[in-house]
Chains A and B, each alone.
Chain A
Amino acid sequence: MMWIVSLLAGSLFGAGLTISGMVNPQKILNFLDFAAISSGGWDPTLAFVFAGAVTVMAVTYPFQKRLASPMIGSTFHLPGRQDIDMQLVAGATIFGIGWGLVGICPGPAIAAFAVTKVHLAEFSIFFAALSAGIILRMVTKNRVQAVPAE
């Protein structure tokens, strides 16, 4: 059941990324290019995508709070941390540089493989590097956490 739900959710997410145009890095960069507002080259589409997604989630949470448990699985896995630490800010900063350099974030990096015909090499390089970055953090995190446990 978990696999069926995951496939459905992933497919709907991927279809949304595609229809919204967010699989096109140029569209992301044209949104982030606020200096182009005056020249008319700015593309506000990402704000509409974000507004649509955030609105659905905003009306879902009050409903979710009244549920004792999700439909499959025993508990809700919602992050409970409230503290703002350096890792959060540094991580968002580093991620923002990577995202701003090419206009690709993790979801579209995978969905785009089914859309692009001419940029398969570019997305392969990006996804391989993305995976390497994620693995580096996994490895270093476990090492840091292992020290106080000893």
Chain B
Amino acid sequence: MENFTPWTGLIGGLMIGLSSAFFLLTTGRISGISGIIEGAMEPGQSGYGWQIVYLLGLPLGATMVGMFLPQYLPEIKVTASWPVLALAGFIAGYGARLGNGCTSGHGVCGLPRLAPRSIISTVVFMSVAALTVFVTRHVF
């Protein structure tokens, strides 16, 4: 259990949940990040603009952690090569939109609603991701 951090995990998770609950009760919208990115790429639609502001908030929040709680800033380690990063990013983006959501929309927002599509999606992408890690770490 090396590097297991249950408390910061739980607190960070509660913050993600509070953010999603706040956004739902104020705007009526699901905090689905891949969908918000898609919306940010469609200038001209009515009500456009908040998606960009929301997405800018993500690194802003991370920056504030670094300013006020620097001891909680995690180390980031990326071991994947550039071609693998490009491939993974491309299919993660395409797949998330084909399936109408990713970890945030289906996982955090859909699962607690017991939405059947979100339950299926979360079980599938979790299982496939675990299988992918098994293959890349233990088979090859």
Q: Which A residues are within 8 Å of any B CB, using their own CB?
A: 2-3, 5-27, 29-30, 32-35, 40-58, 60-61, 63-64, 67, 69-79, 81-84, 87-102, 104-107, 109-116, 118-119, 121-123, 125-138, 141
Contact = CB atoms under 8 A, between A and B. Distances in A.
A52 B87 CA distance: 31
Interface residues of B, number: 113
Contacts, number: 497
Given A77-B28, A101-B136, 12 more contacts: A9-B22, A14-B60, A15-B15, A21-B12, A34-B130, A96-B125, A97-B128, A101-B88, A104-B78, A106-B37, A132-B93, A134-B94
Contacts of B2: 40-41, 43
A135 B82 CA distance: 20
Contacts of B136: 100-101
A61 to B, nearest CB: 6
B111 A54 contact: yes
Contact of A19 (B72, B80, B84, B107): B72
B49 to A, nearest CB: 7
Given A23-B76, A91-B96, A125-B89, A32 B129 contact: yes
Contact of A23 (B51, B62, B82, B113): B62
Interface of B: 1-6, 8-31, 33-34, 37-38, 41-42, 47, 49-51, 53-66, 69, 72-80, 82, 84-100, 102-104, 106-113, 115-117, 120-122, 124-134, 136-138
Contacts of B31: 9, 13
Given A21-B9, A104-B89, A125-B82, A138 B20 contact: no
